[in-house]
Structure 1
Amino acid sequence: MLSGDDQQSQALAKPAFSEAQASALVESIFGLKVSKVEPLPSYDDQNFYVYISRTKETTDGPTEYVLKINNTESSKTPDLIEVQSHSIMFLRASGFPTASMCPTKADNITSLVSVDSGSEIKSYLVRLMTFLPGRIIADIPIGPQLLYDIGRLAAKLDKTLEKFHHPKLSILRRGNFIWNLKNVPLLENYLCALEQNRNREIIEQVIQLFKEEVMTKLSHFRECVNHGDLNDHNILVEPSNSACGDAAYQVSGILDFDDMSYGYYVFEVAITIMYMMIESKTPIQVGGHVLAGFESIIPLTAVERGALFLLVCGRFCQSLVMAAHSCQLHPENRDYLMITAKTGWKHLQTMFHLGQKAVEEIWFETAKSYESGISS
C-alpha cells in the first residue's frame, strides 16, 4: 500500500506549467514562434494546444501542435517514452492516424527540462507532436458500424505493432504497471480509496475471480504489445463520406500511447469494449460489435473468449478504483478523473448482476451475426 510520502510525491508529480512557460518551452526547445497556447485536459501529465506563427523558415508544415509535458515520475524513464514515441512514428508510417513528432533544435524527439521549484529541482520530459483533427468518441452517438470499425482498428494496431522493432522494446515489459490488465490484483493496494459499500464488494469479488479465473490462464493467451488505453477520449473521429451502414464517422486520430505495454490480444479487445460501453445507452450490446470487428482481423481462441467477461470487469475496476485514488491526490482535477465513474459503476453493477453467461450470450450472438452480414 502507498505510504503518505508516496502519495505526496505522486500528488506533486504532475507538472504545473503556465501558458506563458509552455509557450517559452516551444520557442526555446523547438524553435517555433508561438501565437496561441491553450491547456488541454490530462490525467497525470500536462498537455497544451499550440498554434504557431508562420515564418520564413516555417512556410510549410503544420501550424497546430500538442505540447506534452510528462510528470516527474514518467520523466525518470526516458527510454520508455522514447519507445512509445518511436511506436507512434512507426504506426503513422504504417498508415495509422497517429501524430507526427516535431524534432527539437538538437534533432531529438524529447528534451529534458529542469525547473528549480525553490525546495528542489524537478525534471520533466517534453515532446511536441502534431495536433490531430476530429472529435472525441465521447462527444458523438456511436452506432454498431463505428463500434465494429473501432474493434477492427484495435486488432490492426496490435497486429501492426508485431512488426515494430526497437533496441529498447523490452522496456514495455512493465512488471507492476497498474494499468496493465494482468495487474488487476494490485488494486487491493488502493481499495482504501473506496467507501465500504456494495460497489467495493463488487470490486473485491471481481479481483478474487480474476485471480482464480484469469491469472491461471495467462500462459494460454497470445502475447503482443498493447496500446492499452483505447478509450472514448483517445479516439478521434470525423464525418465519413462512406455510404456503408450507419458509418457516419470514421477514425481520424489515435491518441495517448502512455499506457503501452506487453499484454495479450484479448486484453486490447477487452479494454476497448469497456471504454466503448461508457457512453452507450445500451452498454451490454456494445461488446458484440467491437468483438466482431476485432475478430475479423484476429479471431480469439476459446480460452481467450472465456476470459473476456472478467477482463472487461477487471478494466472497469482498474478505472474506477484508480480514479477514486487519483481524486484523493488531485481533487482539483476531479471532473476529468471521474469521467468514467459517471456511468462506470452502473455498467459494472449491471454486468455483474447479469452474470458471465448472460453477457457472453449477448456478445457472442451479436458477433456471430456479422459472419454473414458484414464482409471482413
Structure 2
Amino acid sequence: MHSLSNIGDAFTLPAPAIDVETAQRLVHDHYGISGVVQRLTGERDQNFRIRSGQGHDYLLKISHPAEDRSMTEFQTQALLHIMRTDPTLPVPHVIETRDGESEKFLAIGGHAPRIVRLLSYLQGDLLPMVPRSSALRQHMAATLARLAIALRGFFHPAAGHDLPWDLKHAGDLRDLLAHIPDMRQRSLAERFLDGFEEHARPQLARLRAQVVHNDLNDYNVLVDPAHHDRVAGILDFGDMVHTALINDLAIASSYQLTDSSDPLGTVAEFVAAYHAVLPLEPMEIDVLFDLMATRLVSVVAIGGWRAQQHPENRDYILRNNAKSWARLERCGALPRAQARQTLRRACNME
C-alpha cells in the first residue's frame, strides 16, 4: 500500500549543493562542452543551463544522492524511446558522454555517487508569460496526446514506482489535510477526495494504463516566442509513472480552468483537441472532472506539506498553490453531473 509516510529521501532531504564551477568541469570533462553555466531551480535534481556560445544550449541534471538509479534510467530511456517513435515532438534530447553513455554515475565533491545527465536545452517562453489563446490550447492538447501515443509501447521496471503525484494514490492525501489551516478550504479538499473515492478510484483499474508524463502544469510548457499559438517544449519528465492514461489528461486539464462564467469552456476545448488525436473512451471522460479536482487537491496538500519540510525551496514548491486553490473553488461551484455532461459533449458523446 502506497503511503505518503514512506516518501523517499529524494523528496524529503535536501541534496548536497553542487557549485557552478563543479558543474562546468563535469560538462567539460565528460561531454567535451565548454560554456557559461547558470544554476536553475528544481524539486529533486540540481539543474544547470550550459550556454555553449555555438548556438547550442544544454541542461545538466545532477540527481539527488538518494534517488534510485533505476528512476533516472527510466526517465532517460523514456526520452530515448520518444526520440525513436516521434522525433519531432518538442521534448529534450539526451546527449551522450564522450564515451557514448546516456548517463554517468559519479561521486562529486566527496559525497555519495549521483547520476549526471545532459539534455538539450529547449528554448521558448514559459506558458504563464504569454497570452492564452484557443489555438495555443488546442496545440498543447494535441501535443500531449502525441506524447502519450509516443510512450504507448514503452515500459521500464521502474515505471510502476510509488509516486505521491500519481492520482491513483490520492486517497493517501487525507493525512496531509490536517496541515491546511483554513477550515473551509480543508472541507473543500475533503469533499473532492470523497468524490475521488466514490466515483474515480473504483474505475481506475478498468481504464487504459501506460507510462505518461504526469505533470503538464503551466511551468512545464514552453511556447514558441515567434508563434504564440504553438508549443515549443514539454519539460520535466521527473514525475513520469505507469498509471491510468486519463490521469495525464486530467492533470493537464486542471490547469485550463478559467475564472469566468464558464470555467469549463476552455477545459472542454482542451479535451476535445486531445480527443481528436487520441480518442477517449466514455468511462474515461466520466471520471475526468473528478480526477481534475483530485489533482488540484494533490497540489495544495503535497505542496503545502513539502514547503514546511523545505522552507529554503518554498517559493518554487508553492508556485502553483494559490492558483490551485482558486481553481478548486471553481470546481466546487460546478455540479458534477453538469461537468460530466459538458465534457461528454465536447467529445461528441452526449
Q: CA deviation at 1:187?
A: 1.1
Question: Which position in structure 1 is the counterpart of 2:115?
Answer: 125
**1:306, distance to aligned residue in structure 2 (A):** 1.2
Displacement after TM superposition at 1:365 (Å): 4.2
Q: Tell me by how many angstroms 1:216 deviates.
A: 0.9
Tell me whether 86-95 or 139-148 shows the greater mean CA deviation: 86-95
Cα deviation code 1:225-245 (max 9, x no counterpart):
21111111111111566xxxx
Match of 2:167 among 143, 158, 181: 181
CA distance in 2, matches of 1:181, 1:302: 19
| Count of residue pairs brought into register by the alignment | 344
- Aligned partners of 2:288 and 2:347: how far apart in 1? 13
Contact 1:155 1:298 in 2 (8 A): yes
1:57-206 to 2 correspondences below 5 Å: 63-74=56-67, 77-93=68-84, 94=86, 95-115=88-108, 121-164=111-154, 169-174=156-161, 176-195=162-181, 197-206=183-192
Which one-letter code corresponds to 1:16 in the other structure? A
1:374 alignment partner in structure 2? none
CA deviations over 1:264-317 (Å, ceiling 9, x no partner): 22111111101233xx44443221011101110222222211101110011101
**CA shift for structure 1 position 364:** 4.1
Q: What residue identity is the alignment partner of 2:169? A: N
Given residue 77 of structure 2, which amino acid in structure 1 is its aligned partner? H
Tell me the CA shift for residue 105 of structure 1.
Answer: 2.8
The code of the aligned residue for 2:115 comes to L
Take 2:295 and 2:21, find their aligned partners in 1: how far apart are those partners? 38
Q: Name the SS for the 1:249 alignment partner.
A: coil
* TM-score, L = length of structure 1: 0.83
- 5+ unaligned residues in a row in structure 2: which ranges? none
- Aligned-residue Cα RMSD (Å) equals 2.6
Superposed, which structure 2 residues align to 1:310-329 within 5 Å? 310-329=290-309
1:219/1:98 Cα in 2 relative to 1: closer, same or farther (>3 Å)? same
The answer on whether the counterparts of 1:103 and 1:109 sit within 8 Å (CA) in structure 2 is: yes
What is aligned with 2:289?
309
Tell me the CA shift for residue 366 of structure 1: 4.8
Cα distance in structure 2, aligned partners of 1:213 and 1:254 = 30
Query: Structure 1 stretches of 5 or more lacking a match?
Result: 55-61, 242-247, 372-376
The change in CA–CA distance for 1:357 and 1:15 in structure 2 (over 3 A counts) is farther
Q: Against the structure 1 CA distance between its residues 357 and 89, is the aligned structure 2 distance closer, same or farther, given a 3 Å change threshold? A: same
- Report sequence identity in percent: 26
Any idea what SS the aligned residue of 2:193 has? helix
Does the 8 A contact of 1:101 with 1:129 survive in 2? yes
Query: Using the alignment, how far apart are the partners of 1:152 and 1:53 within structure 2?
Result: 33
Distance 1:113 1:12 in 2: 20
Residue 362 of structure 1: how far off its partner (Å): 4.0
TM-score by length of structure 2 reads 0.89
Q: Is residue 4–residue 164 contact of structure 2 (8 Å, CA) maintained in 1? A: no
